[in-house]
Chains A and B, each alone.
Chain A
């Protein structure tokens, strides 16, 4: 299982921070999705243009979790966001 390099957020997708969480809205599809505090942390770094390797480094540093667990969880999250049209993978 290998993390992709990077991702970008489609133009029609907007997000708002709500407390510690984030709510994402696809203006074209009219669909929305919520991220908990950890997901919000990852989303912020995706928005900042960081690569997934960099994001893994940051998450491992911020939360006391094994790297393979972090990579697995990040991969699951980005796969779900991609399936919902909320992320575009960048090679």
Chain B
């Protein structure tokens, strides 16, 4: 899924103004615009201001990138990061795939997913498992596919991005870093050695929706299928929310996944020195029969 072969890399070019206003804008916590979404005659334009433009075909199957001229020197790392972590999940959603803002780890050959918006601890949890005898399957852009036996999670790019506070606690100096950029405020680590990665799809046993951390101990509560449907839609990557047919199809897939009955709310105090207990609580819960 994360192969870069599908990405066509164009020549650097200036980001000329677009006539029509964006139909969607993603804004960083500091107020800077991260991504602008435009419709074009042939599909979509995703603009990362001062970084790169990505043109996505109407069906999401073709993606071309045009770096901004000033970032050409580090373009290869930048393009990989933007494509794999931002653009590809959106393109896949247009192809009808279920893609979520979630990380996932492998426990006893089954997949456990952690679904949440930014800054809730998805990557920290994944890194915590991957540096303590388990393997991570994805850091974000979690792809869920139907299989003969139910649903499975497909591995993504073998890298994990962590904020500064998590890096120093979880990752040993032996783990390889990728170059980073100020705008992301995270460091990207490559899998290998002390950061174990699972490169095969795994059947899903649990999907945990992370709470806000305002608890004093680990809490795990089951979600109804209706609650799960709504949470899945909230946390899905969707390139074009105004594509009614696509949205309806997505809704149907989410309901089918919600009906599997393995969805829970998970909340825990966000304290690094309690991560081992959180891991154990998750392992115990995940390995119980549903």
Residues in chain A within 8 A of chain B (CB atoms): 12, 14, 16, 18-19, 21-23, 25, 27-28, 30, 32, 34-36
Contact = CB atoms under 8 A, between A and B. Distances in A.
Contact of A18 (B225, B241, B248): B225
A89 B244 CA distance: 24
Contacts of B259: 18-19
Contact of B252 (A16, A34, A35): A16
User: Which interface class (under 10, 10 to 19, 20 to 34, 35 or more) fits B?
Assistant: 10 to 19
A19 B252 CA distance: 14
Residue of B224, B229, B242, B255 contacting most chain A CB atoms (<10 Å) = B229
B226 A18 contact: yes
A32 B230 contact: yes
Interface string B232-259: 0100000001101001100110010011
Interface of B: 224-230, 233, 241-242, 244, 247-248, 251-252, 255, 258-259
Interface residues of chain B: helix, strand, loop or mixed (majority): helix
A12 B244 contact: yes
B230 A14 contact: no
Given A25-B247, A30-B247, 5 more contacts: A18-B228, A19-B259, A32-B230, A34-B226, A34-B227
B225 A21 contact: yes
B229 A23 contact: yes
30 contacts: A12-B244, A16-B229, A16-B252, A16-B255, A18-B224, A18-B228, A18-B229, A18-B258, A19-B224, A19-B226, A19-B259, A21-B225, A21-B226, A22-B226, A23-B226, A23-B229, A23-B230, A23-B255, A25-B233, A25-B247, A25-B251, A27-B247, A28-B242, A30-B241, A30-B242, A30-B247, A32-B230, A34-B227, A34-B230, A35-B226
